[in-house]
Structures are given as C-alpha cells and as structure tokens.
A and B are shown apart, each in its own frame.
Chain A
C-alpha cells in the first residue's frame, strides 16, 4: 500500500509538467500574473452580478459625473457608469485574446509543423511567406487588413490573429527541426509509425513549452492591439464597452472629465500586465534556458 503510494509520488515528481507547475507557483511574478488573470476571468463571468449599473444605459442628466459613491469611477459623455462598462469590457478583452491568439496558434502551428517536418520547397515557401509578413510593422498590417475588411470587432480579431501567425510558425518549425533527426524519431518510424503519429505524438509535444509561453505573451499583445484598433475606430464599435473604444472619445473631454480617459487605460494595463507576468513566470518555470524566445 505504502509502496504503491511512494511509487505514485515519484511518478508525480518526475512529471516535467508537474515540476514546471511547482516552479511557477514558487515564482512571485508567475503567481501575481496568475492571480490577475483569475481575477479578470471572475470579473468577466460575474459581470452581471458585479456591475452596479447597466453598462449601456444612457442618462443625459448624469453626463461627465466625477467619481462618487453612486458612480465609483464616474460617468462618460452619455452618462453611462464607467465602472460597469469596464467590468463588461473585460469579457471583450478576454474574448479578443483567446480568439485571435487561438487563430494564430492553429495556423502558426500547422505551418510550422508542415515546414519543419516536410522541409524542402514547402519549407522555403512557407517560411519566406512568414518573413514577408514580418517585414510589416505588425499593427500596420492589422490596420491594413481591417481597413479593407471593414471596422468590426470580429475583423479586428481576425487581423490580430493573422499578424501573430509567423511567430508561432517559427517556434514550432525550429523545435521540429531540432529533434526531427534524433534517434527516437527514427525508432518510431522503424516501428511503423506514420507521419501523422510522429507529428502529433513526438514532434508537437516537444514544442509545447515555448508554445505555452508565446501563447500567454501573445494574448497580452493581442489585447493591446485590439484596444489600439478599437481606439482608432477600427475594432469594437460604439456602444461596445471595449476598453480601447471607451478611450476614443476621451480626448475631447480631457479637460472636463479626465476620469473618462484614465480608468479604461488602467484596466488595459492591469489585464495586459497579468498575461505578461504569467508569460515571464512560465518562461522561467518551463525552461530557464529559454530566455530569448
């Protein structure tokens, strides 16, 4: 009984994922990031309960009200409660992060696997294409794509997804190249494993650590990029409580109501900081050598 328990413990301790998780929980920045993200997700899930007011309800009589006990963060140009809008806005930012990075992950990983595994002309074709995409300042490429597709949140998410594809493709490709020729892959092949099995059972898991780090950090930049697009009027459209969009009208009311510009910006910093901290923490936890990915 106790022997089997010991065995189980040993197994647990040698599992690299468990080991990494333990290291993450030991790092201050990792835990801080994780805490912020969990908080953000709770706020998003509980938005209807937490928000003191209807985020869309306009009240012309209560325009530009300074922060008070009634409106903790004040009201905007339509008399809407800013705190409630920020709370609901967390849903949009999380959605943007997950959807656009999910898109980049699916296409980036597929391209990277194809390029790395099959090599030759296909590799050259895919990677040259990625190089070309990286020749654009990324936010500009996103602006270009949205300008043509039309200013909508879903197009902004698509654009941000597209500009993030090359990074994922590069990570997966280099990780595939580094182990493609190793002996255990030849052994798997000798045992009759097909391409599909080798790719998903052996090559992809090896790329997992850098992918997890990149995914986390990319969610942070995706939230920033979406806020930038929405600020320019190219992403979420009014009356959406997207944090960047909330700032787009704030410039004209800086003198009258600086809180309209202040708080949504702080919300963006808070959310982005969470993912950046977790990304840094994960990088240290998963592989201390991986500092420059």
Chain B
C-alpha cells in the first residue's frame, strides 16, 4: 500500500507539470495582449509598454516560462492586480470557505443519495423508485445556478427561513482562526456563532449538493441492483439471514466501489459547481473570487486560481483511488 501511494504520487508529477504548462499557455499563447486587455482599448502606448515590461511580457516565451516555473516551485504565484497582495495568500485565505461549503454539500449528497439509492433498489419499480429516478434524471439536466436562484426565491425571499447570502450574520462577535467558520466557532465555544454559521450554510450546501445527490442516488441504485442479482446474495438469503443483514452486510459492501468512484468524481464536479453556487449566494470563497478576478481582468489571480483548483481536483482523485482499497477487500496494492 505504501509503495503504491508513493508510485501514484510520483505519477502525479508529470500531470501537475502539464497542468502548469497549460495554464501558462492559456495566458500566453492565445492571441491578444494581456497588457492591452488589462488597461483597456484607450490605453496609451507608453502605459502599455511599461506594463509589458513590468509583467515580463517582452521576454521570449521560454524565458517567461522558466521564470514562471521557478516562481511556482517557490509557491510564488505572483501578485494580484486588484489588491497587490501575493496571489497564494489571497487564494489560501478564501479556500477554507470553499472547502467548508463543498464538505457540507458532499455530506448532504451522500447521506441523502446513498440511502435513497439503496431504498430504491430494495423496492425496484415502486413509486419511490420511479420518483427518485425521475428526480435523478431531472437533477443531471438542471443548471446548478438556476437551482440556487429558486432556493433563494423560495426559502429566503418567500418563506424567509434562511439567509440568502454570505457566511455569517453582520455584527456577530466572531474571530476567524482557520477560516473554517464551523470549526472556528466550535473551538471558541461560540455556539451563537455556530448556529448562525450553520444557518447560513444550509441553502448553498443543499443547492450545491443536490445534483451530486441525484447522480449518487442513481449510481447507488444501479450498483445495488447489480449486486443483488449475484449468487452469493441468494445463498445468504437461503441460509436464512435477515434481509437487513443481507442488504447492508453482503450487498452494500460490494456495491460500494462504484459508489465511491462517483462520490469522488462528484467532488470534482462540486469544485466547478462551487464557482456558480458561490456567485449566486455571495459566498466569499475561491469560486466567487475567481469570477470577480475575471471581471476585474486580474490575470495573476485567474491563473493561480485555476491552477489551485486543478491541483485540488487531482489530489481528490488520488484519494478516491486510494480509498478503494479500504472498501474492496479484493483490491490489494503491491
């Protein structure tokens, strides 16, 4: 197992280098002058020239690439044009908000999607089965930002149950430590804040988690149906075991591998969805920051942000791969 992890980590290196190259190429090879884009159509030639010089755009591409790689290895992603702070600091400051949102979204998706899928598979072709599969089908066809809008309209505007935006109420006494507000408020025994933070989390997390929930439910159902047809399940029943034990002990364990794959893949989808959800709910995380940076033409932030997201995505996929071994006794890593 340990050797396998090392091998997989080493295999990541070329992928990450490739990712870095692509992000570099996106910014540098596509026609158009970043300096011109940043300063706008009416910029003077002098101003343009100064900015190009400052950004190192006058050097040859290989020289620029080398400098970019050197900076990258030191963790230096450049400075934001909007704030002039280091890009890495700006990203790290906002990442916890995205992490917290994604975590609760995936919790919602798994804890609703998996039981729904199991229940549907146990009662194949029942009204519950048909309904949940219809919801799943609509779920994969639905734009996440529209779902967010509908949630805000229904639960925030009409019913007033949840706040429509931001992470925490204004004027609340609270000092962030890790920027994971749930953890921070628990650490400080500040339960007023905790309640408030959770209250703010519900709508965006459920909105972000709904589409993955639909996909997970669908996958759980088909994976369970597949396993329930196997001979050893019949044997288990024949031995006189209770249905509950057969389903949860015999079937679910073996149906778990495809389910975990889908959960992992959905975590990646969540990261993309976070961009939309955060924009809708004014959630101050990485996704919203990235979109704001695009509007402001803050290229270092855009470049660093995409790189960061891709890095997280790659690592999540690795963790998913490794977790197979934990649930599937047939897989053994050399």
Check if A19 is an interface residue, CB within 8 A of chain B.
Answer: no
Q: Quick one: closest B residue to A272, CB to CB?
A: B141
A232: chain B residues within 8 A (beta carbon) = 275-276, 279, 291, 294
Give complex CA distance A102, B238 in Å: 54
Question: Are A135 and B143 touching (Cβ within 8 A)?
Answer: no
The answer to the question of A168 belonging to the interface, with a C-beta cut-off of 8 Å to chain B, is no
Q: Looking at the complex, which one of B26, B271, B273, B309 makes contact with A148 (CB distance below 8 Å)? A: B26
Is A269 in contact with B141, judged by CB distance below 8 angstroms? yes
Q: Give chain B interface residues in 14-44, CB to chain A under 8 Å.
A: 14-16, 18-19, 21-23, 26-27, 30, 32, 37
The contact string, 1 if C-beta is below 8 Å from chain A, for chain B 136-160, is 0110111111100110110001000
Judge whether A128 and B18 touch: CB under 8 Å.
Answer: yes
B279–A265 CB distance below 8 A: no
Residues of B with C-beta under 8 A to A231: 143, 145, 276
Q: Is A92 an interface residue (CB 8 A)?
A: no
Write the A3-46 contact mask toward B (1 if CB under 8 angstroms, else 0). Answer: 00000000000000000000000000000000000000000000
Which one, B14, B275, B291, B313, contacts A136 given CB within 8 A?
B313
Which residues from chain B contact A133 at a C-beta distance below 8 Å?
22
Q: Inside 8 A of A236's CB, which chain B residues have their CB?
A: none
**Pairwise interchain contact B142-A269, C-beta atoms closer than 8 A:** yes
Complex: A228 Cα to B148 Cα, angstroms: 12
Is the CB of A82 closer than 8 A to any CB of chain B?
Answer: no
Confirm or deny: B295 has a beta carbon within 8 angstroms of a beta carbon on chain A: yes
Q: Does A188 belong to the interface (CB within 8 Å)? A: no
**Are A148 and B30 neighbours in the complex by a CB distance under 8 Å?**
yes
B residues less than 8 Å from A145 (CB atoms): 26, 30
A224–B306 Cα gap in the complex (Å)? 20
Q: Does B208 contact A (CB under 8 A)?
A: no
A155 to B150, CA, bound (A): 29
Contact call A148/B32, Cβ cutoff below 8 A: yes
Q: Which residues of B contact A264 (CB under 8 A)?
A: 146
Asked if residues A228 and B19 are in contact (CB atoms below 8 Å), the reply is: no
Q: Which residue of A lies closest to B18 (CB)?
A: A132
Across the interface, do A135 and B19 meet the contact criterion of CB distance under 8 Å? yes
Decide if B183 is an interface residue (CB 8 Å cutoff). no
Given the known interface contacts A132-B15, A132-B18, the answer about A144 and B149 at a Cβ–Cβ threshold of 8 Å is: no
Contact A228 B276 (CB under 8 A): yes
Known: A231-B143, A258-B153. A132 touches B309 (CB 8 A): no
Which of A66-74, A108-116, A171-179, A244-252 touches B? A244-252
Q: A137-B269, A139-B272, A147-B294 are in contact. Are A254 and B153 (CB under 8 A)?
A: yes
Pick from A136, A138, A234: contact of B294, CB below 8 A.
A234
Instruction: Decide yes or no whether B117 CB sits under 8 A from chain A.
Output: no
Instruction: Tell whether A277 is near chain B: CB-to-CB under 8 Å.
Output: yes
Q: Which of A131, A141, A224, A258 contacts B143 (CB 8 A)?
A: A224
Check A104 for interface membership: any CB of B closer than 8 A: no
Please determine whether B275 and A254 come into contact, CB atoms closer than 8 angstroms: no
- Known interface pairs A148-B26, A244-B143, A247-B146. Does A276 touch B152 (Cβ–Cβ under 8 Å)? no
Say whether A118 faces chain B, with CB atoms less than 8 Å apart: no
Q: Are B302 and A144 in contact (CB under 8 A)?
A: yes
* Chain A residues within an 8 Å CB radius of B143: 224, 227-228, 231, 244, 247, 265, 268-269
Is A255 engaged at the interface, CB distance under 8 Å to the other chain?
A: yes
A247-B145, A254-B152, A276-B141 in contact; A137/B271 too (CB < 8 A)? Answer: yes
Q: How far is the CA of A234 from the CA of B275 in the complex (A)?
A: 13
Residues on B with C-beta less than 8 A from A250 are: 149
Contact A254 B157 (CB under 8 A): yes
Contact of A276 among B137, B276, B294, B309 (CB under 8 A): B137
Chain A residues whose C-beta falls within 8 Å of the C-beta of B146 in the assembled complex: 247, 261, 264-265, 268-269
Q: Contacts A143-B294, A232-B279 given: A254-B306 contact, CB under 8 Å?
A: no
Contacts of A265 in B (CB 8 A): 142-143, 146, 149-150
Q: Which residues on A sit within 8 Å (CB–CB) of B32?
A: 148-150
User: Any chain A CB within 8 A of the CB of B314?
Assistant: yes
A140-B275, A254-B152, A265-B150 given; A135·B18 CB < 8 A: yes
Tell whether B114 is near chain A: CB-to-CB under 8 Å: no
Alpha-carbon distance between A60 and B144 when the two chains are bound, in angstroms: 31
Q: Is B268 an interface residue (CB 8 A)?
A: yes
The residue on B at minimum CB distance from A151 is B294
Q: Which residues of A contact B22 (CB under 8 A)?
A: 132-133, 136
Asked whether A132 and B19 contact (CB < 8 A) given A227-B143, A231-B276, the answer is: yes
Across-interface contacts of B21 in A (CB, < 8 A): 132
- A262 at the B interface (CB under 8 A): yes
| A128-B149 in contact (CB<8A) | no
Nearest-Cβ distance from residue A209 to partner chain B, whole angstroms: 20
Min CB distance A261 to B, Å, is 5
**A233 at interface by CB-CB < 8 Å:** yes
Least CB separation from B149: chain A residue: A261
Task: List 24 A–B pairs whose Cβ atoms lie within 8 Å, in order of A's numbering.
Answer: A128-B14, A135-B15, A135-B310, A135-B313, A137-B309, A139-B272, A139-B276, A140-B272, A140-B275, A143-B290, A144-B23, A144-B26, A228-B276, A231-B276, A232-B276, A247-B143, A250-B149, A255-B157, A258-B153, A261-B153, A268-B143, A269-B142, A272-B142, A273-B137
Residues of chain A touching chain B, judged by Cβ–Cβ distance below 8 Å, are 128-129, 131-133, 135-141, 143-145, 147-150, 220, 224, 227-228, 231-234, 244, 247, 250-251, 254-255, 258, 261-262, 264-265, 268-269, 272-273, 276-277, 291
B residues within 8 Å of A by Cβ?
14-16, 18-19, 21-23, 26-27, 30, 32, 37, 137-138, 140-146, 149-150, 152-153, 157, 222, 268-269, 271-273, 275-276, 279-280, 290-291, 294-295, 302, 306, 309-310, 313-314
